[in-house]
Amino acid sequence: MPEIRVTPLGAGQDVGRSCILVSIAGKNVMLDCGMHMGFNDDRRFPDFSYITQNGRLTDFLDCVIISHFHLDHCGALPYFSEMVGYDGPIYMTHPTQAICPILLEDYRKIAVDKKGEANFFTSQMIKDCMKKVVAVHLHQTVQVDDELEIKAYYAGHVLGAAMFQIKVGSESVVYTGDYNMTPDRHLGAAWIDKCRPNLLITESTYATTIRDSKRCRERDFLKKVHETVERGGKVLIPVFALGRAQELCILLETFWERMNLKVPIYFSTGLTEKANHYYKLFITWTNQKIRKTFVQRNMFEFKHIKAFDRAFADNPGPMVVFATPGMLHAGQSLQIFRKWAGNEKNMVIMPGYCVQGTVGHKILSGQRKLEMEGRQLEVKMQVEYMSFSAHADAKGIMQLVGQAEPERVLLVHGEAKKMEFLRQKIEQEFRVSCYMPANGETVTLPTSPSIPVGISLGLLKREMAQGLLPEAKKPRLLHGTLIMKDSNFRLVSSEQALKELGLAEHQLRFTCRVHLQDARKEQETALRVYSHLKSTLKDHCVQHLPDGSVTVESILIQAAAHSEDPGTKVLLVSWTYQDEELGSFLTTLLKKGLPQAPS
């Protein structure tokens, strides 16, 4: 079955729930298993009935691959593995394996405790799901089974994000997940080698955007922080433990140094511990600048940034505080928020997406009166949203396609009407076909798999002897016998094949009779035939043998008298089946008769 089938799962054109089924050379792989954050009901999960209506998913799928820890790529994983039912391997990188369960648990808490949802996965389910995970390293070829192998490439975007190459024999598919082609302060840029996959699957959510430069965003961030502390206000920045927080710290630290500012900046301690722990585990995943800077020290030993004590929140005067968790749904960041929300001089900067139901989401939607623990809270502090997370835009997609050199490109999560220009751009620039399936639609791509066949030396030499050097790009026709044993293919000459099989070769000879009007004796007729053929067939070896017969290459011609008619001679033309062509030609030629000229 030389074809690759791809089906993005999920209903509607909604972005935000990644789950792609790939069928390659008989292997079925699920790429990502995301949750749609905007829905509260079953619409938030991908539609798994596409995979199989009644069979066991474990039998049908060979593996599941998760690209990174964002909930729209892994949020539905516990539901899928524990509630729908899947027991096969789940592959992801080491950082993803460490961070995924934390985010899933956070999310579960919000859904169940805050929103009171019933049919949701439990903490135990998350744990059971993670037991099925097999962690992989970058550029490590992992054998899923004896035919299917996968390999992870660095994707940037967030800590631990990877692009995966899925390979079966000579067919391969590369799935990018979310990636970023421009390095930022703590992560490098995505990179892949010229692996020339049959298909490159890439998300195209941001393909039609041209991104604001990072410096502008950083400048705006610094401006807001500075303006707030200048007027005596306090700035709260809720963050998740890793990555962005560190980046923003470096930014603030350097800015404070330049501007000689004395306003205190704090990091909540819970953050420091967790961050240090993960940092040590995943140092290779951040970029070189970070590594060189922090290689020997505690990464949060800044000059201007100190550890936070909850009592500091009541101190008068300006300050900046980084606290977890990132969506203001619980814990220290929420506590600080409640203390500072009533003062319009203060500011909270949300650095990323907030799930529905969290305080973060509410204030970002513009809500200014919140109910917390039975009491009303009026939010007078300024609310800012500053996303630093990076996705590939059109330029990034073009760069990646240029690096990988796929045969074809498939774009997911874009609206087809709005992507025609990008598709034309890719097709023109790289001369590859570009597909844009809707969710639920299957794209079938025929492939021409190359099957390697070993050729015997003898056969090869024989072919070479025929002249004409082999050319890499031109197909060359060979005759031989194909021997298939186990998964081994060999091409040998027929003789060798027969020898190996212990069979004798059959000889086939064809004989044809050509009647000629000739009254002379047989020997003379034969001589006439010889002269005629010699002069006509200049490219061939024509010989007159002592016994009177004529040979043309390996074809034998004998003249005999006709049994009944002395004026007719019968030419017996015989040849082996290998000389079929020449034999037929000679017969036709002789049937035309001999020239009248005397020999």
Partner 1 sequence: MAGPARYREPRPLLARGPQRPGLEAEVEYRKRQLPWIPRRTGLWNPCACKSYQDFHAFDLSGATRVLEWIGDKGVFVAGYESLKKNEILHLILPLRLSVKENQGLFPERDFKVRHGGFSDGSVFDLKYVPDTRLLVTSGLPGCYLRVWQFAEDSDVIKPVSTIAVHEKEGNFWPRVAVFSSVAPGVLHGARLSDLKIVDLESQKVTYSSGISDSEELSSLQVLDADIFAFCCTSGHLGIVDTRQKWAPLENTSPNLGSGEERWCAEVRGMDQGPGSCIASLGSEGQLRLLDTRDLCHPMSSVQCPVSTPSPNPELLRVSWAPGLDNCLAISGFDGTVQVYDVTSWDGMGIQVEPLFTHRGHIFLNENKMDTAPQVTTHTWHPCKPRTLLSAASDASLHVWDWVDLRASC
Task: Find how far residue 172's CA is from the centre of its chain.
Answer: 7
CB of 212 to partner 1, least distance (A): 4
344 near partner 1 (CB under 8 A)? no
**Which residues within the stretch 158-217 sit at the binding site for partner 1 (CB under 8 A)?**
183, 188-189, 191, 193, 206, 208-213, 215-217
CB of 344 to partner 1, least distance (A): 14
Side chain identity, residue 233:
G
- For 200, the token pair is 């490159």
Looking at the DSSP bridge assignments, the partners of residue 378 are 369
Gap between the Cα atoms of 35 and 100, Å rounded: 13
343 near partner 1 (CB under 8 A)? no
Tell me, residue by residue from 247 to 266, as one string, x for binding to partner 1 by CB under 8 A and - for no binding: ---xx-xxx-xxx-------
222 near partner 1 (CB under 8 A)? yes
- For 157, the token pair is 């975007």
CB of 512 to partner 1, least distance (A): 58
CB of 65 to partner 1, least distance (A): 18
Gap between the Cα atoms of 230 and 222, Å rounded: 12
**Which residues within the stretch 272-291 sit at the binding site for partner 1 (CB under 8 A)?**
287-289
- For 429, the token pair is 């620039």
- For 292, the token pair is 């060189």
Q: Which residues are within 8 A (CB) of 539 and not within 5 positions of it... i.e. 6 or more apart?
A: none
State how far the alpha carbon of 583 is from the alpha carbons of 12, 268, 540, in Å. Answer: 69, 95, 12
Q: Which residues are within 8 A (CB) of 255 and not within 5 positions of it... i.e. 6 or more apart?
A: 222, 226, 261
387 near partner 1 (CB under 8 A)? yes
What is the bridge-based pairing of β-strands 265-268 and 199-203? unpaired
CB of 100 to partner 1, least distance (A): 22
Let me know if 203 is a catalytic residue: yes
545 near partner 1 (CB under 8 A)? no
End-to-end CA distance of the chain: 65
Complex with partner 1: residue 150 or 189, whichever CB lies closer: 189
User: Given candidates 107, 154, 266, 278, which one binds partner 1 under the rule CB under 8 A?
Assistant: 154
* Annotated catalytic residue, options 105, 149, 171, 203: 203
Looking at the DSSP bridge assignments, the partners of residue 143 are 149
Complex with partner 1: residue 383 or 516, whichever CB lies closer: 383
418 near partner 1 (CB under 8 A)? yes
Enumerate the H helices of 260-300 as residue ranges.
Answer: 269-281, 288-294
- For 97, the token pair is 């394996």
- Phi/psi of residue 60, nearest 5 degrees: -85, -40
User: Given candidates 131, 262, 280, 292, which one binds partner 1 under the rule CB under 8 A?
Assistant: 292
420 near partner 1 (CB under 8 A)? yes
CB of 244 to partner 1, least distance (A): 14
State how far the alpha carbon of 47 is from the alpha carbons of 19, 84, 301, 440, in Å. Answer: 9, 11, 47, 8
The residues annotated with a catalytic role in the active site are 203
Residues that bind partner 1 (CB under 8 A): 138-139, 153-154, 183, 188-189, 191, 193, 206, 208-213, 215-217, 219-220, 222-224, 226, 230, 250-251, 253-255, 257-259, 287-289, 292-293, 295, 297, 301, 303, 364, 366, 382-387, 393-395, 398, 417-422, 424-425, 428
